[in-house]
Amino acid sequence: MKNLIVFTLAILLSSNVFAQKKEQKNKYVAKLVGEWVEVCEISPEQEKALTAIFSDRQDELRQNRIDNKHDATKLEESTKIIRQKHWRKVAEVVGKANLEKMKKHRQKMENKK
């Protein structure tokens, strides 16, 4: 009986932690997509596509950190590859004009720091 209680508590706690991480990812993705919508002329279809792309990217980056946590060089290299892959997808979805707008916006934000 004691083992059953401990097992049940372990499952409940682990599901709570998973839900928190998923919520954090969703907030971050919403922030990224919101920035694109604010700065660029993004249609609702493009917004949905960006949400899917950024969500997939966060999942891949998270798994990459887990897989390569003991090898910093491999982690850095694979992170760069993941970001490039997803950046190409973003470029296909939003187009050149919006990419330029976002690039100028980010440069302006960097200069403010």
Tokens 């919403």 belong to residue: 30
Residue 49 located in a structural domain: no
State the pLDDT at residue 13: 52
pLDDT for res 1? 59
Q: What is the count of structural domains for the chain?
A: 1
Give φ, ψ of 42 to 5 degrees.
-110, 130
CA distance readout (Å), 78 to 41, 75, 89: 31, 5, 17
pLDDT one-digit tens code per residue, 51-97: 999 999 999 999 999 999 898 899 999 999 999 999 999 999 999 99
Q: Is residue 99, in this structure, part of any structural domain at all? A: yes
Residue with tokens 């004009």: 97
**Structure tokens given for 39:** 């700065």
Q: Tokens at residue 43, please?
A: 């249609």
- Higher-confidence residue of 8 and 48: namely 48
The answer to whether residue 32 sits within a structural domain is no
Q: What residue numbers bound the domain in which 99 lies?
A: 76-113
For residue 109, give the 3-state DSSP assignment: helix
Q: Binning pLDDT at 50, 70 and 90, where does residue 18 land?
A: very low
Average pLDDT, the chain: 84
- CA dihedral of 96, 97, 98, 99, whole degrees rounded to 10: 40
Residue of 93, 35, 32 whose CA lies nearest to 57: 32
How much is the pLDDT for 63?
A: 93
Is residue 9 in some structural domain?
no
pLDDT of residue 17: 47
pLDDT digits (tens, 9 = 90+) for 25-38: 889 999 999 999 99
Name the token pair of 111: 């200069």
The residues, ordered by sequence, that sit 6+ positions from 46 with a Cβ below 8 Å of its Cβ are 93, 94
The answer to the question of residue 87 being in a domain is yes
pLDDT score for 37: 92
